[in-house]
Structure 1
Amino acid sequence: MQEKRGLMWILSPLSWLLLAVPVFALGALLPRRRKWLLWIGGAGIAGSVLAMTPVFANRLVGWLEAMPEQPQACETRPPDVAVLLAGGVDRFARSEEDVSVLSIDSRRRAEKALGWWRQEPGRRLVVAGGSRGRRSVAEAVLVAGYLQQLGVPAEAIRTETRSLDTWENARNVAALRPALPREVVLVTSAMHMRRAKYSMEQAGFTVCALGADWRYVPFRRMGYLVPDSGGLDKSEAALHELVGLAVYRLRHGR
């Protein structure tokens, strides 16, 4: 589920650069040059440029995507229920059948869950994700429709359609009736797994992590030291996850 953006623009290295350049220029243009403005602006420019490089972005992504140690029960008593978190849409759906609006994150998560479901008969999927507008279709409904197109029968899928963020995903899934087992497989993007797993555990679940949509790329060439749009995109996503996890821990304890 895509989170509420609000002031998330401040987590973009491009925003930092746009703020740092005027500060540096002001320090240089004032009649009496202000060294402290030059230092702040210069550090901001250097930091934002570094954060837009693929090498920096992939270090953050690699840490986030490192899969947590699995509970022993994941091997000895594998759960037969997977909770799949929707990953957003690219535009508003015209109907519940309009699965073309699903983002690539949502599709990759759904396809990962599909592979897990196919491994053993009798497995079930719970898809979580609400909608941003009164008349828009819940993301969980769209993902469920996509799974059905891929061959999962409707009776093997449950949906939770009220949640608007990861924390609500976990709380609302825990409140479903009939209740889910407390041991579940959690399917979400690998970069999102730390925050999602924390939220699910705080809601009372034992989680077997199943990551999808891996984005880490190891250092391969010197061009990774040069800022580019890919590095910017990854850094923004990784910083969003890091700050989101920190906020959850501060707000909800532990």
Structure 2
Amino acid sequence: MFETLTFILIWLFIGWLLWYFLFQVKFIPVAYYTGFGIVTIAALLTIAFMNPGGRTSESVGSLLSLLLTPLGLSLLLLSRWVLREGPGKFTANGVAAWAFSVLLLFSTPAIGFLLAGQLEREAVSMQGYGDRGSVEAIVLLGNGTTRVAGIGQQRIELTESGDRITLAAQLYRAGRANRIIVSAGFRPELNAYWRPVSSDCRNPDGTATRCRAAESSDISVLLQEMGVPASAIVIPRSEIAQKREVVNVRNSALDVRDEFGSNPQGARIALVTSAIEMRRSTLAFESVGFRVVPQPADFYTLPYDAPDITPIPWRYFSIPDLIPNSEGLTISTKVVTEYLQSVFYFLRGWISPFRL
């Protein structure tokens, strides 16, 4: 805690110095700043070339590559516009100044990790996390965890969320439950991706048909390769019958409930999903009658492993985390979207604000 506080105070002091010299000191000529910037860049490049395998090289590379990316060019052009009349006129540029500030703030990885860390700390501090007892089923929310390698290729690839699948397989092999219920839906974006006639694709009257492959079926294939028998993998019948393309947490909760005869009666399930959406998913499943044991995956932050501190998501910051990039913007967008979806679920009455 003391080191973290010191780190924050030092950066606040550095920020104050920069603000003072850039905006308050009037007698320093612009040419001085230009020369100082050139000398600084030259020094950083020299250090990077002398030690190409060091962290400095990584930081310099991140900074220089920023100027060549769409995000970096957008920030550069916006900054040129809002500062065209000098730093003192920044706020006078109205919407453009706000656009620059929001884009700069939310594309900074440090901000994204801080926002994600808050939700992930909630995920590992929820009641039931760490419970290693048996459950009636492992429920895997697998939408977006896989992608098709190519038309005609018998290969399925994992996305960055694919560790949900490996976690579900690990829980099964550990004996936590005798079945895995996979909810992921069909692939609406792949109109040309067809599976042969199979038992997974049937009309309401029971006759076989050709259909777009459900992502749930692809996940089933991967789970079997990880040692889970096909007989232990369940794809909700409601999802197959309706050929559901839009799969959200609410739909998944209702489809899984149907597998328990529309009345779970407090059945215990191990719910596997992203740590960022763990709280909303847990509340949504509890609202339809389940008792949920949270099993978060897909973390952006890392566990702090000091022996005298309770393990919670934590991530050490480095200089590249202060350089805007697309990853930071993606993480921030996911977190903001999750908060908006939680508000929407609450307004629809699909979740309550607190766990009972």
Q: Quick check: 1:164 aligned with 2:240?
A: no
Corresponding residue number in structure 1 for 2:181: 126
Q: Quick check: 1:84 aligned with 2:140?
A: yes
Per the TM alignment, residue 75 of structure 1 is displaced from its structure 2 partner at its CA by: 4.1
* 1-structure distance, mates of 2:276, 2:131: 23
* 2-structure distance, mates of 1:60, 1:38: 28
* 1-structure distance, mates of 2:341, 2:330: 17
Label 1:123 to 1:99 Cα distance change in 2 as closer, same or farther (>3 A).
Answer: farther
Of residues 198, 203, 219, the one that matches 1:143 is 219
Q: Quick check: 1:194 aligned with 2:279?
A: yes
**Post-superposition CA distance 1:191-214 (Å, at most 9, x none):** 221221122112221110011121
Contact 1:187 1:210 in 2 (8 A): yes
**Post-superposition CA distance 1:3-36 (Å, at most 9, x none):** xxxxxxxxxxx6xx78x949x959x89xxxx998
Contact 2:249 2:281 in 1 (8 A): yes
How many residue pairs align between the two structures? 230
Contact 1:129 1:140 in 2 (8 A): yes
TM-score (norm 1): 0.76
* 2-structure distance, mates of 1:91, 1:111: 18
> Considering only aligned residues, what root-mean-square deviation do their CA atoms show, in Å?
3.3
Per the TM alignment, residue 99 of structure 1 is displaced from its structure 2 partner at its CA by: 5.1
Tell me: higher relative CO, structure 1 or 2? Use CA pairs within 8 A at least 6 residues apart: 1
Contact 1:87 1:109 in 2 (8 A): no
Q: List alignment gaps of at least 5 residues for structure 1.
A: 1-13
Corresponding residue number in structure 2 for 1:55: 110
Label 1:38 to 1:214 Cα distance change in 2 as closer, same or farther (>3 A).
Answer: same
TM-score (norm 2): 0.56
Contact 2:104 2:324 in 1 (8 A): yes
* Mapping 1:200-219, distance limit 5 Å: 200-217=285-302, 218-219=315-316
Label 1:209 to 1:121 Cα distance change in 2 as closer, same or farther (>3 A).
Answer: closer
* 2-structure distance, mates of 1:203, 1:99: 36
Secondary structure of the equivalent of 1:184?
strand
**Post-superposition CA distance 1:111-139 (Å, at most 9, x none):** 00111111127621111111143742111
* Counterpart residue identity of residue 220, structure 2: A
Q: List alignment gaps of at least 5 residues for structure 2.
A: 1-70, 192-210, 303-314
Corresponding residue number in structure 2 for 1:250: 347
Question: Which structure: larger Rg?
Answer: 2
* 1-structure distance, mates of 2:257, 2:141: 13
**Post-superposition CA distance 1:163-216 (Å, at most 9, x none):** 621211111111125566621000112122122112211222111001112111
* 2-structure distance, mates of 1:206, 1:93: 39
Q: Quick check: 1:173 aligned with 2:261?
A: no
Secondary structure of the equivalent of 1:104?
coil
* Mapping 1:12-161, distance limit 5 Å: 21=78, 38-66=93-121, 67=123, 68-71=125-128, 75=131, 78-88=134-144, 89-91=146-148, 94=151, 98=154, 100-105=156-161, 107-120=162-175, 123-133=178-188, 135-160=211-236, 161=239
* 2-structure distance, mates of 1:223, 1:35: 26
Give the share of equivalent positions with the same residue, in percent: 26
